[in-house]
Structure 1
């Protein structure tokens, strides 16, 4: 389990342990070094205090307070300059050999000694101490000096444990509160008495909850509107089916069948548009963008709509198509252009004209669909982007979702869409700008 609490405790405790160990090592070797110097001073004082004339009396060792054991552990020797031992005064068994003047550490008689040799006239005075006794004393004192520091590990460990547990309690409480929430409880979390570190997290969660509530509310409205819109064509189909059952003449049956066909087509178109709109909801926006050949896309969509336009004697064609490649959602862009051309074909009267153009303008890819149909009054050009909105008095069957779908796709591609009058104030001109921050030209720059 990737626990932040355990990880934090692990790092703090390990860091504390490492710091204490380093502190103990430094203190240990420092205290030992100081004690070594202190014991060397003791040997020097002993050597200087020994008389070389008359009776040789063993001097009293310099006081070392609590550092000295009850039994003395040093050896004092007086030598001639030629190396002859004159006197051996010791409180320990064994005696070291004569060494050079000054301090030295040496082996003698299978023992390690620390000695100090002082020359006084023709005599050499050597004060020695077994290194094992010396090491035992210095180590014991140094360990005793760092013992309180070792105790700090337990004390600081407990303090860190309690501090981390108490500091993370707001996060634990926040987690418990989120677990107790019902699935549709989208009210914001309380930001009172929260630590500064948790404020951004709670604010982000509240922002997410607000967006989620808006999305769910949009889904509810969408389902309600879809049910309402589907009710009309399905009721019409059901009614015409009943008429068909009761019809007796061939002409009456033919007329009822035609109405059934029209109602079915309308319901099919509405369902298709609803499915398209559902695919454009936020969760579908996780699809990655890919390079899209806009020029090829324009020609493909126009070719798909050409049979319908030809059937209605409408002149549909591509008047301009620059080679542009857009990094975007290929399926979404196909739906965008398909809806624009489909709307133009639906509303343009027989014998009309529809021109599709693609060019690079002002640093943006501009897609234009222009027809000479009835157009849209300026007062309604904003409302036509609303879902299920259809102009009053329109005789053309539709779902009222085409331009709403187009707007969603444009927004996803960070573009802009505008509705204007066509050439000479007749018809409708739809202009879609897609920023070239998401696009690149195949040839040149605009």
Structure 2
């Protein structure tokens, strides 16, 4: 009888201790959840779990402080980049004005035209840096408005001049397919894709098509400019990566990827029989 009572006492004690342990574990889980919601109050208890609680609290605070420091540094870098770009623009404008005067006075000097092209290239880089700083600074500032893909394509084509020998094929379905996002940033992305095709020597045709399903609406831009080398497939969306034969800055397609992703989409590229095909998927999620 005594043995049975002793066993029951042990079982009861084990039950109490297990319940207490589970309760403290749940309290620690709640503590972590509260800290994720920026509630940094820590309960004052002295038991075997207190040391663990204290360590979790200290590590979490260190992570928060490191994140805040990183965000501040990023914001400063973005400000510096924007500052530099603005500072560059001022002398460039003056140089362009001077070059145009020289052109009119000495039209026979070829080096003036070469110098003008380089200054215009530098001016283009400054514009890109300004766009990048704006894009990086406004991480969660993309507008949400509805518009058709046809409106987007029309605006992009009005803002950018393709080579005269390029034939455009645009599907009528673009008028029907509506997406939600930031119109002007997405137009910027589309312009960069069109520029990529336009810069290909062999390209004389660009086809723009679309499809829709319950999951996403797609926009496909295909060209016949020879396609992308296999070794470059995974690199072309990386910032500042450029192929040896490119005369760009290696920023355009990286910017496209960032813009598309910030508008709840994704972009991919594949080679077709005669060229490259970029597909943007806009997911139907609000």
What's the TM-score, normalizing by structure 1? Answer: 0.43
Task: Tell me the C-alpha RMSD between the 2 structures.
Answer: 3.8
Question: Which residue of the other structure, out of 319, 322, 329, is the alignment partner of 2:182?
Answer: 329
Does structure 1 conserve the Cα–Cα contact (< 8 Å) formed by 2:209 and 2:219? yes
> Alpha carbons of 1:288 and 1:354: their partners in 2 closer, same or farther (altered >3 Å)?
closer
> Alpha carbons of 1:417 and 1:354: their partners in 2 closer, same or farther (altered >3 Å)?
same
Does structure 2 conserve the Cα–Cα contact (< 8 Å) formed by 1:299 and 1:318? no
Q: Which runs of 5+ in 1 are unaligned?
A: 1-169, 172-191, 439-446
> Alpha carbons of 1:410 and 1:249: their partners in 2 closer, same or farther (altered >3 Å)?
closer
Does structure 2 conserve the Cα–Cα contact (< 8 Å) formed by 1:295 and 1:358? no
Q: Which has the larger radius of gyration?
A: 1
1:278 corresponds to: 133
Secondary structure, aligned partner of 1:286: coil
Instruction: State the 1:203 CA deviation.
Output: 6.5
> Alpha carbons of 1:368 and 1:249: their partners in 2 closer, same or farther (altered >3 Å)?
same
Instruction: State the 1:298 CA deviation.
Output: 1.6
- Alpha-carbon separation, structure 2, partners of 1:409 and 1:249: 44
What's the TM-score, normalizing by structure 2? Answer: 0.64
Question: Which residue of the other structure, out of 371, 378, 382, is the alignment partner of 2:234?
Answer: 382
Asked if 1:435 corresponds to 2:283, the answer is yes
- Alpha-carbon separation, structure 1, partners of 2:76 and 2:241: 19
Q: 1:301-353, CA deviations, whole angstroms, 9 ceiling, x for partnerless residues? A: 23433xx32x4311124134332222221221111111111221122536x10
Q: 1:98-120, CA deviations, whole angstroms, 9 ceiling, x for partnerless residues? A: xxxxxxxxxxxxxxxxxxxxxxx
Count of equivalent residues: 225
- Alpha-carbon separation, structure 1, partners of 2:224 and 2:73: 39
- Alpha-carbon separation, structure 1, partners of 2:233 and 2:78: 24
Does structure 2 conserve the Cα–Cα contact (< 8 Å) formed by 1:348 and 1:372? no
Secondary structure, aligned partner of 1:385: coil
- Alpha-carbon separation, structure 2, partners of 1:348 and 1:415: 30
1:139 corresponds to: none
Secondary structure, aligned partner of 2:199: helix
Matches within 5 A, 1:172-321: 202=61, 205-206=64-65, 208-209=67-68, 212=71, 215=74, 219=78, 223=81, 251=108, 253=109, 255-305=110-160, 308-309=161-162, 311-321=163-173
- Alpha-carbon separation, structure 2, partners of 1:348 and 1:369: 17
Does structure 1 conserve the Cα–Cα contact (< 8 Å) formed by 2:78 and 2:137? no
> Alpha carbons of 1:217 and 1:436: their partners in 2 closer, same or farther (altered >3 Å)?
same
Instruction: State the 1:372 CA deviation.
Output: 0.7
Secondary structure, aligned partner of 1:383: coil
Q: Which runs of 5+ in 2 are unaligned?
A: 1-39, 42-50
- Alpha-carbon separation, structure 2, partners of 1:421 and 1:204: 43
- Alpha-carbon separation, structure 1, partners of 2:137 and 2:106: 52
Structure having the higher helix fraction is 2
Does structure 1 conserve the Cα–Cα contact (< 8 Å) formed by 2:209 and 2:220? yes
2:260 corresponds to: 410
2:224 corresponds to: 372
Does structure 1 conserve the Cα–Cα contact (< 8 Å) formed by 2:236 and 2:253? yes
Does structure 2 conserve the Cα–Cα contact (< 8 Å) formed by 1:270 and 1:398? no
Structure having the higher strand fraction is 1
